[in-house]
């Protein structure tokens, strides 16, 4: 299966369990991998034969910058469901990676992240 990637999209959201996370907010990085048959798009050079990257970006932005969730697991689930529901004809599966670069956890680390896979990737 062919793949479309939207890598390291950056959004500002208010997700988290701790009160300061929902008040101050923080940066979230999102990567989406979609399993799509790209043969027709490649042969015809027709946007209608593929998934519009700008639309998927806007969908991710709306979810991450929208209502707050306690868990980034929920954010990833909402993104995957929206992609699979909105592009059911084209997208056979997707993988969503949510990175929280600066969670309020004592210690030294690069980031925390969750990755989910839904459908066939």
- Read off the pLDDT of residues 36-72 as tens digits, 9 standing for 90 and up: 999 999 999 999 999 999 999 999 999 999 999 999 9
Q: What local confidence, expressed as pLDDT, does residue 105 receive?
A: 87
Structural domain boundaries enclosing 80: 3-119
Model confidence, pTM: 0.95
Q: What is the count of structural domains for the chain?
A: 1
In sequence order, what are the beta bridge partners of 27? Answer: 12
CATH of the domain at 100: 3.30.1130.10
What is d(CA 80, CA 98) in angstroms, rounded to the nearest whole number? 11
Strand partners, 119: 93
Quote the distance between the C-alpha of residue 116 and its chain's center: 10
Mind listing the pLDDT tens digit for each residue in 66-112?
999 999 999 999 999 999 999 999 999 999 999 999 888 899 999 99
Catalytically annotated residues: 100
Arithmetic mean of pLDDT, 22-43 = 97
Burial category of 86 from C-beta neighbours within 10 Å (exposed 0-12, middle 13-18, buried 19 and up): middle
């Amino acid at each position: 299966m062919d793949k479309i990637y939207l890598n390291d999209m950056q959004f500002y959201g208010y997700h988290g369990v701790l009160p300061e996370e929902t008040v101050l907010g923080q940066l979230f990085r999102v990567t989406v991998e979609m399993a799509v048959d790209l043969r027709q798009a490649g042969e015809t050079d027709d946007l209608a034969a593929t998934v519009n990257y700008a639309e998927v970006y806007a969908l991710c932005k709306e979810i991450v910058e929208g209502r707050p969730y306690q868990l980034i697991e929920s954010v990833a689930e909402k993104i995957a469901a929206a992609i699979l529901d909105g592009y059911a004809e084209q997208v056979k599966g997707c993988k969503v990676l949510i990175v929280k670069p600066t969670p309020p956890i004592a210690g030294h680390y690069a980031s925390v992240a969750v990755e989910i896979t839904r459908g066939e990737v």
